[in-house]
Structure 1
Amino acid sequence: MPNISNSKILIIATDGFEQSELEFPRDELRAKGAKVHVATLDGKAIKGWEGTDWGRDAEADLKIADADPTQYDALVIPGGQINPDILRTKPEVIALTKAFAKEGKAIAAICHGPWVLIEAGIVTGREVTGYTSIRTDLANAGGRVVDEPVACDSAIITSRTPDDLKAFVAKIVEEVEEGRHNQKAA
């Protein structure tokens, strides 16, 4: 049985990520013993968004294009408006997300992060949630939208806001420890 303490988690982000939505999962999962890597578009540090202005930098471990999904147990996509709006336009991000889905591995997206899941075509028929302003997008993509702290359907984990981070991380841990899932086709 997989255990969070011997798992590898990949967080993908770019400038404009919601500060807490990258830092809290990264730090909490590391505290539980997981090896957590942050991948960015160019493999360099990125700047967060906190409140109404730019926040702190997050160091990067690798480029998104160099990430090998077979080496990770889960993918985490923080929100913020800027971060996922840029990520969903990048072919390497969509290919990586689809590869995690095809492998039946946990994919967790919070706030506006589910925009990336929509672009990857993995929302249709699933129970999902997200920030209030993207719920219509989720429904239009074929998702069954709920207003809950966390929704999980076949290892696709979604949450609404930073207020849901504890439930979000708890569900990531649970899904990683359950192991691979048989996914609906991406």
Structure 2
Amino acid sequence: MRIAFLTAPEGVEQVELTEPWRALTETGETPQLISTSPGEIQGFDHLDKADTFPVDHTVDEVSGDDFDALVLPGGVANPDALRLNARAVAFVREFFDAGKPVAAICHAPWTLIEADVVRGRTLTSWPSLRTDITNAGGTWVDEQAVVCHESPNTLVTSRKPGDLKHFNDRMLREFGKVAA
């Protein structure tokens, strides 16, 4: 299964990148890191710089057709930067248009809102996004992880790093349905 992780060059909450990545690689998957710029991305532990990670491809070099699923890690600055990049937003939209599963955690639904794919869906996020999701036509719930099977694809969302176990379990289950 080909899985894309989309991040901006800075501002990704490191654990929201590394824990889902680890969960997928433990099942034999080989995720690819996609960013809006080549080189490396800078992970953060909340507001403190953490590790850097090599970018496999820029969003300009790939399309949604190149992958089977998408993961959107959070952090506050990461999705805020992604939603200002037209190509990143279009890349996200391609997964929804093709009916492919997407998983998003914490503040990542900001990018989903910008891609106009929240309407009619039930999802969760960091609590401060509640009004944004509601205003975009989605239904926000305060749960550890939510799976929305709104046609044509599946969306897995979660609130925060403390929910990563639940997020990873649901993501693996839903992504596994595609691989089966």
Above 0.5 in TM-score?
yes
Q: Which amino acid aligns with 1:9?
A: I
The answer on 1:96 being equivalent to 2:91 is yes
The answer to whether the 8 A contact 1:11-1:36 is kept is yes
Alignment of 1:22-171 (within 5 A): 22-154=17-149, 155-171=154-170
User: Within 2, Cα distance between the matches of 1:93 and 1:52?
Assistant: 23
Q: Secondary structure at the match of 2:60?
A: helix
Moved over 3 A (4+): none
Deviates more, 1:129-138 or 1:48-57: 48-57
Partner of 1:4: none
Partner deviation per Cα, 1:2-57 (whole Å, 9 max, x = no partner): xxxxx111001021100100111112211111110001111211111113311111
User: Within 1, Cα distance between the matches of 2:13 and 2:47?
Assistant: 11
Q: Secondary structure at the match of 1:43?
A: coil
The answer to whether the 8 A contact 2:63-2:94 is kept is no
User: Within 2, Cα distance between the matches of 1:70 and 1:177?
Assistant: 18
How many residue pairs are counted as aligned between the two chains?
174
Q: Which amino acid aligns with 2:7?
A: A
Question: What's the offset of the Cα at 1:168?
Answer: 1.1
Partner of 1:184: none
Gaps of 5+ in 1: 1-6, 181-186
User: Within 2, Cα distance between the matches of 1:51 and 1:79?
Assistant: 10
The answer to whether the 8 A contact 1:43-1:64 is kept is no
Question: What's the offset of the Cα at 1:67?
Answer: 1.9
User: Within 2, Cα distance between the matches of 1:170 and 1:74?
Assistant: 15
Question: What's the offset of the Cα at 1:71?
Answer: 2.4
* TM-score (ref. length: structure 2): 0.92
The answer to whether the 8 A contact 2:3-2:70 is kept is yes
Q: Secondary structure at the match of 2:50?
A: strand
Q: Secondary structure at the match of 2:171?
A: helix
The answer to whether the 8 A contact 2:46-2:75 is kept is no
User: Alignment partner for residue 5 of structure 2, among 8, 11, 17?
Assistant: 11
Aligned CA-pair RMSD: 1.3
Gaps of 5+ in 2: none
Partner deviation per Cα, 1:132-167 (whole Å, 9 max, x = no partner): 111111111111111111111121111100011111
